[in-house]
Amino acid sequence: MLEIRALIDSELLKVGDALPSERELCERFSTSRNTVREAMRMLKAYGVVEVRPKVGATIIDNRMARAFDLFSFNTIEISRKTFADIQGFRTLIEVNSVDAMFDNLTDDHLAALLAANTAMRSAQTIQEASEADFGFHISLVGILDNAALLELYRIMKPVIIGIMEKGKSRQDFRTSTFDQHQAVIDALSAHDRINYQYALQHHLTIGFDTFV
């Protein structure tokens, strides 16, 4: 698979371009048809190529859809490992970017966080509360002004929402989660680095024991 990806890059192939035939790929890389077919199967799974009868392999870009499929599938059963991995990633972004948060923070950012937290407390169902909770964290990441990070969170939304819904089934989002968010907002507003990191780290990891 890596050799075919290198071929795509070296020949500057773009979406819509055809790859060499299976036979040509076998000859170019001195490998068997089974190896080439397995590489194509993997590239297809990653959303990089489309293989059609009598047409062959064509370059596509369905990587975003494949990522959505991956994270949607993970919501079927969220394990402790999945929880730890996702929350660990979020810690790297939301907790460890504290200096950039403080540098970029505006009154509009604080207002958006307050609005999201209020919406969560006013929600009538766990699902509505989780959507508002996700909105709070999207607003938090938005302070960093990085479109790529926001896109990553959009991709991970199904599994993050799954974590939030399970957590809210074990604690009252109108009090516990609301208060945790408010502590983050207060620390941000005061540019209190230690309390910001403590409050957010506690918030992100508090539900670990609810996952088996």
- 158-197: pLDDT as tens digits: 888 888 888 777 777 788 899 999 999 999 999 999 999 9
Contact 25, 11 (CB under 8 A): no
pLDDT of residue 27 exceeding 90, the answer is no
Burial class (CB in 10 A: 0-12, 13-18, 19+), 36: buried
Cα separation of 105 and 91, whole Å?
18
Q: How confident is the model at residue 208 (pLDDT cuts 50, 70, 90)?
A: confident
pTM of the model: 0.66
CA distances from 163 to 113, 177, 206 (A): 20, 13, 11
Please name the residues in contact with 167: beta carbons below 8 A apart, sequence gap of 6 or more.
177, 206, 207, 210
Contact 117, 186 (CB under 8 A): no
Residue 64's pLDDT is: 56
pLDDT of residue 5 exceeding 90, the answer is no
Name the 3-class secondary structure at 68: helix
